[in-house]
A and B are shown apart, each in its own frame.
Chain A
């Protein structure tokens, strides 16, 4: 396996302390950490967890949007949506590859997802009910993802940072595409505009939850900040997203489902009403509306694909054996 050659956990405590200090000094100097460099086990574990959750989110995220590929309302939209969902699969692929550089295999990470032991972004546990949801996902969900991911382009772990640069370029294209769907709907028939408003009503609050729990309750923030895996707090990113998005929604002529949303003239920021953190906790704990369906779809694809993967492996082994035999004969 590719990652076996990479260094494993060290046991010598004194050596570790020196290495840890050198490691932190490199991070402080904005050096990139590369797969073969020494790193604390907790750093490795944190990154494997975060990168694999991100990869799983891309893969599970193909499902809610994939739900509309066959019903896209024009050939141009069908092609764009198919290409977008394909991009997400591609993001999943780079991210699994980035996690592999840390010593985790794609197979074991996927197994964790299918067993329900790994998390993915809870936003994908909400249903896509109308075509406008495809616009809202591009505009809001990808918009929120970009806010989260732009700082990751400067993450201290090199392979993750480099994967994020490409992912962010594609995500910002998706976001513009989503907004353009919303714009077309909002300039369309009254039914289309109502469809757009309904989508905003359903997606707004879950999108605000995408930034994670409030800073007062976030478990991973401090160490992640020290290691420069994370550079902004959940609340800070959430505020940036709201400030960027609210004027866009008003330009569409839509109303945000938050009666307390108002612009603070002194700070220039938009303040919002309370987020339903109980709903967030329930969804994160696996109680999302579509959670069972999403996992069932992934399991079904995996199980039904097993004979195909076995066939490919068996054929490759037979070919390799034939090749070896012919070399020996020659």
Chain B
């Protein structure tokens, strides 16, 4: 029956495209939850803008995965359940306060911007083309979140406390970003970006006057579909119309 979730074949290209698409969609969805509720009108516009970029990236990547498995972007986004989602645990974490949202964005953007930059040289031309567009967007996301993290770290005692608490809470989710997704030649190994990420994060934290958490452990499992409890709620909200009206066109 049409409500049944779709099955997606596992090839390196599909796995990579889906993992990155799921990252972008889930984070874009989280940011879109701020719309109308942000601390300033300017931030309402900025967060919606970043969300739109990420949803746009997700659509390009789903389209790419779909070319290889015959499913459209909506089948891939709306008809896979949480165990089939391949996103990082970091991006599904709830928005929390503004500091939590900014730290989540910064940790991710500092990684993904470098990854997209490297992917512009991918030997898979369709991925390289997506990378060319995505990198320009994530460079802005990185600048936006880094500038805010500095404002929050340096601003008031309260903003400093909240920014530090957000870092402490989210740092255990950062290491997952550096796990390999595929071993394919067209993929850039995330581990190769670790050093650059460390440098960039340390530099921003130093300017912000924040302390890098020791993170004695890290959480992992998103790439294998083992998620935190938050993702199921996000997907039930996102997917409900497609699931309630199987086969309908919107």
User: B-contacting residues of A (Cβ < 8 Å)?
Assistant: 59, 62-63, 66, 69-79, 82-83, 85-86, 89-90, 92-93, 96, 131, 181, 184-185, 188-189, 191-192, 297, 300-301, 304-315, 318
Question: Which residues of the partner chain B approach A83 to less than 8 Å between Cβ atoms?
Answer: 48, 52
Asked whether B155 lies within 8 Å of A86 as measured between CB atoms, the reply is no
Binds A, one of B7-15, B118-126, B237-245: B237-245
Asked whether A82 lies within 8 Å of B48 as measured between CB atoms, the reply is yes
Question: A89–B78 Cα gap in the complex (Å)?
Answer: 28
Q: When A301-B39, A307-B158, A315-B150 are in contact, do A86 and B45 touch as well, CB less than 8 Å? A: yes
Q: When A79-B52, A86-B45, A314-B155 are in contact, do A301 and B32 touch as well, CB less than 8 Å? A: no
Q: How far is the CB of A231 from chain B (nearest CB, A)?
A: 29
Asked whether B250 lies within 8 Å of A184 as measured between CB atoms, the reply is yes
Q: How far is the CB of A130 from chain B (nearest CB, A)?
A: 9
- Please pick, from A78, A79, A301, A307, the residue contacting B36 in the complex, using a CB distance under 8 A: A301
Asked whether B151 lies within 8 Å of A305 as measured between CB atoms, the reply is no
Asked whether B40 lies within 8 Å of A184 as measured between CB atoms, the reply is no
Q: How far is the CB of A55 from chain B (nearest CB, A)?
A: 10
| 29 interchain pairs, CB-CB under 8 A | A62-B35, A62-B36, A69-B32, A70-B237, A70-B238, A75-B73, A75-B74, A77-B250, A82-B48, A85-B36, A86-B45, A86-B48, A86-B52, A89-B48, A297-B37, A301-B36, A304-B97, A305-B38, A305-B39, A305-B43, A306-B39, A308-B98, A310-B159, A311-B151, A312-B155, A314-B155, A315-B150, A315-B154, A315-B155
List the count of A-B residue pairs having beta carbons below 8 Å apart.
144
Question: Which residues of the partner chain B approach A62 to less than 8 Å between Cβ atoms?
Answer: 35-36, 44
Q: Given A63-B36, A310-B159, 15 other A-B contacts at CB below 8 A? A: A66-B35, A70-B32, A70-B238, A72-B241, A85-B36, A86-B44, A86-B52, A89-B45, A93-B41, A93-B45, A184-B250, A189-B248, A191-B245, A310-B155, A312-B155
| B56: Cβ under 8 A from any A Cβ | yes
Residues of B in contact (CB 8 Å), total: 50
Question: Which residues of the partner chain A approach B33 to less than 8 Å between Cβ atoms?
Answer: 69-70
Asked whether A304 lies within 8 Å of B39 as measured between CB atoms, the reply is yes
Asked whether B37 lies within 8 Å of A300 as measured between CB atoms, the reply is yes
Asked whether A314 lies within 8 Å of B156 as measured between CB atoms, the reply is yes
Residue-wise, chain B 13-45 has the 8 Å CB interface mask toward A (1 for contact) of 000000000000100010011011111111111
Question: A85–B45 Cα gap in the complex (Å)?
Answer: 9
| B181: Cβ under 8 A from any A Cβ | no
Q: When A75-B58, A192-B248, A305-B40 are in contact, do A82 and B35 touch as well, CB less than 8 Å? A: yes
